[in-house]
Structure 1
Amino acid sequence: MTRCRPSDQWTGVLVTGSANGGWLTRARRHSRWLLLALPAAVLLAVGLAVVPDQPSDDRGVSAARLTALFDRYGDTSGRWNGADRTASVTLPDGRTLWLFSDTFLGPIQPDGSRPRTAPLINNSAVVQQGDELRETVHGGSAADPASLVPPPAADQFYWIADATVAGQSLQVLVNRYRRTGSGPLDHALLGTALATFALPALTPTGLRPLPLGSGISWGSELLHDGGHTYVYGTETVGQSRFAHVARVDGGDLAGPWEFWTGSNWSPSEEASTRLLSGVGTAYGVQRVAGRYVLVTQESNVVFSPDLVAYTANSPTGPFEGPDYLYRAPENAEGHIVYDADLHPDLARPGRLLISYNVNDLDDAVTYADAGVYRPRFVEVAWPRRRPDPADLPPPPAGLTAVADGAGHARLTWRAPRADDELRYQVHRRDVTAGQTHFVRLGEPVTGTGLSADFLVNGHEYEFRLTAVSGRGESRPSAVATMTAQVPPPPPPVGVRAVAGVAGDVALHWDPVPFVQLFRVQQRNLTTGQQDRTLVGTHTGTTATIRSLRHAQTYEFTVIAVGGGGDSQPSAPVRATAYVTPPPAPTGVTATPQPDGTIALTWNTLGPGVSYRVYRRDVTAGETRLIRPSLDTRAEHTAGQLAHDHEYEFAVTAVNSGGEGPKSAPVRARARYTPPGTAPTRLRAEPGRGSVELTWRSANPSRWYQVYRRDLTAEERQFTAEEIAVRGERATINGLRNGHEYEFAVAAVNQAGPGPLSEPVRVTPELPTPTALTATAMGSGEVRLSWRSAGPGLFYRVYLRDTTAGEAWRPDPYPVPGTSHTAVLLTRGHRYEFRVVAADGTDESRPTDPVAVVVR
């Protein structure tokens, strides 16, 4: 499956260009097509309604041209080599933006294969300008790419829905999924979000979860019509898929939504009703000649190669059909097709321009041929020409359907006439599953009997027939109804387990009749695990289990899931996982940065790999590479480097099998550029022989040098403090109280200091005692008391006999507390007292004097 935090803040976009303008990598990671779900039926052949390719004109582009465009870009761009979903939106400047979900990046190999190390992201975009694809847009970096819309959590991811332009913004609906296991079907829808990008640069500006539930994946299609934007969605229930529709006023998807209830519109998503069954996770809706045509890959039958159309007089239906438009030939080659969509802005007149995606159940195929996993385009004439009813054969009669108890429906009928050229087309509808339309089963047959299979136990089915001649297809016969009786399938046999070299085990088993879905269980024998755990749900008869621990032994069993339920587990098989240490990383680059760091990048080796960066200081004569901690991304910033020193770096890759060899070494010289801006808003708060400085800067975590000069001592030059400080605050001690100082601050690094800030002046001083009182005690004594000026201080008492005209004189003894008794004073004389705080070096300003007459 794939990887994917609700957040409005996310990484930037990487846009990479191409001069030429040429999935299931792991069964557990790439599974958009498997949102198709799983009853199953025999596939049929239909006549093609394809328009032959003609040169494109200024009114559209041909399907063949678009298919070739993506093939060439995938082969030659070196950036994008395959993806699925294929939504398009025309930008205001005339460019076309193609949006994709699971995307392979990087160049392909000369033989046309895709390297196993090809980066895979969950969503991306490609920009078309004129007749050429020019740019690939994604997050992260070229060496270590990330999804355009980043995952909200480690076990979650976003898949692209549809997009529109609103004002100067691109709005993209994205659906959020959570991984529930390692198999291609093991994911669960969590909700829908709206990603926005500023135009024209496609800069991400927001990612907002919408107030929607997890039952419908919204954005299968957007249709602007009649002052509204209609938002189509897909509901998956068991093995069936149903279309829904909502709408917003105008073209802004951030506005309030309302949902079609079957008769009117409601603001409640819970009131949304189903329009029809059989749609894909992506489909197209377009207005043509006053009617609405919905084009989808036929999902009423699993893995159907058929593209079909339904029509209605309103965007909300009811829809009639299906009309069979096209059978994708890739199905006959063993591939699967899915996610049909319409591109009306690019279509030529009188045609529907349809894209669809191709994949393979065996991921080895998508690696061996990179061209498999790319969009295809086809054109279909529309509206369709209908045959004259008078030329059509009459419908068959007497159709009966009987359950045989072994999982089949036995159909019989009577021929409408004796005509050896007539053939008969079977149509089926699963009533219990809620299918709204009949679907063709297989190819037309001769004779008057047929056994239909791939049924679900207890489901009620309706069958009908049409007669097919060279002139066309008759009206349908009367409906025959039956309830299926399907026993559980037998357990798979012939299970084999083959260990790979990357912590993977490939499982193979023999086919089980009428079963296309299997569940794989495992338990770790090395750790003593007792209970089996489900590790994946798979289609076909192969599965690759990954992320196993090196040298640990695992036991596997397989369960077949059929129309009658689950089989018993298969006989267990065992395998011991092996992980080969990864090769040396390639493409290592080292780029000096202005802040003295060196930025390292290299080519990613894919998921499950970490990296270790080694370095040595060549200038300092180091001979041994120092090994730091692991990095999880293909990038590293080397810091704490010495200015103008040359460093050598090498990189290794590490997985559970160990550490691989070192890369080719690269060298770079660390150079710091002195800071270019001065700190601002310098403030100084005086203290006792100290000053508390604060300031502001663009980089509060950098280092700063404080400068000072003593203006009272008539110092002319600033002197730098001995030790630089980090952050935006510094305390300067050892100052003279009462002296006026001037301070300035500069950012500093190994290349030296930057410009000085605006200076600030301040005078440190001791605090002054307060609340001084004096009380005459008699016998020539006066009692003094005051409030403390702070810890660590003592006090000096000053006095004078104003009656005798004395000057101020200090009491000879310092006072450690906050009270003092003056003695041997002259009775009847008036005295004044004041107190200062002292620290052994300086004294504070004195208190206001207090007077008292001695008794």
Structure 2
Amino acid sequence: MKKIAFVCFIISISVQLTMAQQVADTVNLTDIKFTVEAAPDWSALLKRQTGWFGGDGIYTIPLNGMEGEQAHANNKILFIFSDSMIGKVRNKTMVPGYKMIHNAYAILDGDKPDAAKMRFYWDRDSLGNAESVFIPNTPRTEKSDYYWLGDGFVNQANNNIYIFGYRVRNVSDGAFGFKEVGNTLIKIPAGDKPPYKNIQQEDTPLYITDESGSFGSFGAGIYVNTKQASAPNPDGYIYVYGVRDLAKNLMVARVLPEDFEDFGKWTYWDGSIWNKDIDKVVNITDGVSNELSLTALPDGRYALVFQHGGMSPNVGMRIGASPTGPFGPVIKLWDCKPDLIEKTFVVYNAKAHPSLSKPGELLISYNINSVDFINDLKVHPNLYRPRFIRVKFQ
């Protein structure tokens, strides 16, 4: 009987994969009609002169747990940022006393770019100086580690807020002087209100390396494919995307909402089935960025939005047949070159914000930074902040 059941299981899996491939073969992954324009109202929202006046790593989390159109109903949106500048801008330069911290957040009351309804939060040290909100404190943490933040969501199975934290360490070797050394899950328990004081965190097995030098980490993007979150074609799973290696290859894992903290129940797409072995995970596309988004489109397809190649002037999109792909070629959405007014400026980490988008549209952000950071900020104090564009699908 066990052998018969096993054979039936294998046949079932084969049928599912065949059907999935047939669906993928009928989906147009190359063409989509759209228009795109700058969204100056949203870009202006983060052009500030005091307090938080710059940062990157922007993700948006609807606090009612509803993604897409349903997120707009009387909701608050949590914005999370990685490296952030705290201080003042006056006479078009930074006032002495500014400080960079490694992460911060803000709460927007509603889904409109209204500065009067947005409040920023960061912590303070014993001397009253600005400090990061999320500071690594796990068994694998070393004293000098700090967090940059990945994506997050409100888990409607328990109403906790989950955010991925990348443990980063400054190093003497490497191209940028820092490297990610671990992956952490940050939990803000249900019922905790800003300023969040009951933050919990744990190391995860979601940072992967091997003897060949390959490296990667999960948390670059989250797609909540549940009925409770108003997903259009829900299968009940949380999809978590990861990026690895310099080719910016995309990986995907999934888990049921109630099992989110139980990493033994996570599975990873190996190209054929969902596999419990993380080492079997395959690349489902490439040329993405370390921060990205996957969003369901009105026509049943999926939009994967990213900065093409990780750090380039091009905001790109690939059309997917499902949350695991296959994905079509890169469709260029926006050329960021007009923002690069200095040769030292760089652009990176585009992603969509469905909870801030109108029906049939996607609001997309991308980050601006500089390889001559402080010197450029002295002249362009508001350069270091997200810019927004609006894509309208036809």
Q: Does residue 205 of structure 1 match 2:199? A: yes
Deviation at 1:116, TM superposition (A): 5.3
Contact 2:57/2:349, CA 8 A, preserved across alignment: yes
CA displacement 1:513-552 (0-9 Å, x = unmatched)? xxxxxxxxxxxxxxxxxxxxxxxxxxxxxxxxxxxxxxxx
Identity rate, percent: 28
Matched residue SS, 1:67 = helix
Which has more helix, going by share of residues? 2
Q: Does residue 178 of structure 1 match 2:169? A: yes
Indicate the residue corresponding to 2:107 in structure 1. Answer: 127
Matched residue SS, 2:368 = strand
CA displacement 1:573-593 (0-9 Å, x = unmatched)? xxxxxxxxxxxxxxxxxxxxx
Deviation at 1:358, TM superposition (A): 0.3
Q: TM-score, normalised by structure 1?
A: 0.36
CA distance in 2, matches of 1:115, 1:269: 48
Deviation at 1:112, TM superposition (A): 2.3
With over 3 angstroms needed to count, the CA separation of the structure-2 counterparts of 1:341 and 1:251, relative to structure 1, is farther
Q: 2:247 aligns with which of 235, 240, 244?
A: 240
Contact 1:49/1:326, CA 8 A, preserved across alignment: no
Counterpart of 1:173, as a letter, is F
Q: 1:117 aligns with which of 83, 86, 97?
A: 97
Counterpart of 2:168, as a letter, is Y
Deviation at 1:381, TM superposition (A): 2.0
CA distance in 1, matches of 2:390, 2:36: 6
Contact 1:359/1:366, CA 8 A, preserved across alignment: no
CA distance in 2, matches of 1:263, 1:114: 53
Q: 2:77 aligns with which of 71, 74, 96?
A: 96
CA distance in 1, matches of 2:293, 2:59: 10
CA distance in 2, matches of 1:121, 1:284: 25
With over 3 angstroms needed to count, the CA separation of the structure-2 counterparts of 1:143 and 1:134, relative to structure 1, is farther
Contact 1:175/1:218, CA 8 A, preserved across alignment: no
Deviation at 1:94, TM superposition (A): 1.7
CA distance in 2, matches of 1:193, 1:382: 36
Matched residue SS, 1:321 = coil
CA distance in 2, matches of 1:116, 1:339: 29
Indicate the residue corresponding to 1:84 in structure 2. Answer: 56
Q: TM-score, normalised by structure 2?
A: 0.75
Counterpart of 1:159, as a letter, is W
Larger RCO: 1 or 2 (CA < 8 Å, sep 6+):
2
Q: 2:268 aligns with which of 255, 259, 264?
A: 259
With over 3 angstroms needed to count, the CA separation of the structure-2 counterparts of 1:115 and 1:257, relative to structure 1, is farther
Deviation at 1:85, TM superposition (A): 0.9
Counterpart of 2:301, as a letter, is R
Q: Does residue 318 of structure 1 match 2:323? A: no
Indicate the residue corresponding to 2:67 in structure 1. Answer: none
CA distance in 2, matches of 1:137, 1:377: 22
Matched residue SS, 2:133 = coil
Q: Does residue 223 of structure 1 match 2:234? A: no
Indicate the residue corresponding to 2:291 in structure 1. Answer: 282
Contact 2:207/2:218, CA 8 A, preserved across alignment: no
Deviation at 1:330, TM superposition (A): 1.1
Indicate the residue corresponding to 1:352 in structure 2. Answer: 362
Indicate the residue corresponding to 1:157 in structure 2. Answer: 146
CA distance in 2, matches of 1:118, 1:311: 42
Indicate the residue corresponding to 2:130 in structure 1. Answer: 145
Indicate the residue corresponding to 2:211 in structure 1. Answer: none
With over 3 angstroms needed to count, the CA separation of the structure-2 counterparts of 1:182 and 1:274, relative to structure 1, is closer
Matched residue SS, 1:244 = strand
Matched residue SS, 2:46 = helix
With over 3 angstroms needed to count, the CA separation of the structure-2 counterparts of 1:366 and 1:379, relative to structure 1, is same
Matched residue SS, 1:373 = coil
CA distance in 1, matches of 2:278, 2:219: 14
CA distance in 1, matches of 2:260, 2:148: 18
CA displacement 1:95-121 (0-9 Å, x = unmatched)? 11110111111222x212224531111
Counterpart of 1:66, as a letter, is W
With over 3 angstroms needed to count, the CA separation of the structure-2 counterparts of 1:210 and 1:233, relative to structure 1, is same
Q: Does residue 50 of structure 1 match 2:36? A: yes
CA distance in 2, matches of 1:366, 1:323: 32
CA displacement 1:695-728 (0-9 Å, x = unmatched)? xxxxxxxxxxxxxxxxxxxxxxxxxxxxxxxxxx
Indicate the residue corresponding to 2:42 in structure 1. Answer: 66
Deviation at 1:251, TM superposition (A): 6.4
CA distance in 2, matches of 1:183, 1:148: 27
Deviation at 1:352, TM superposition (A): 1.6
Deviation at 1:168, TM superposition (A): 3.3
CA distance in 2, matches of 1:264, 1:150: 36
Contact 2:35/2:393, CA 8 A, preserved across alignment: no
Q: 2:86 aligns with which of 72, 90, 105?
A: 105
CA distance in 2, matches of 1:231, 1:377: 24
**Structure 1 stretches of 5 or more lacking a match?**
1-47, 53-62, 384-855
Say how many residue pairs are matched.
Answer: 317
CA distance in 2, matches of 1:170, 1:213: 21
CA distance in 1, matches of 2:386, 2:92: 16
Counterpart of 2:154, as a letter, is V
With over 3 angstroms needed to count, the CA separation of the structure-2 counterparts of 1:182 and 1:370, relative to structure 1, is farther
Matched residue SS, 1:65 = helix
CA distance in 1, matches of 2:334, 2:168: 31
With over 3 angstroms needed to count, the CA separation of the structure-2 counterparts of 1:184 and 1:371, relative to structure 1, is farther
With over 3 angstroms needed to count, the CA separation of the structure-2 counterparts of 1:360 and 1:317, relative to structure 1, is same
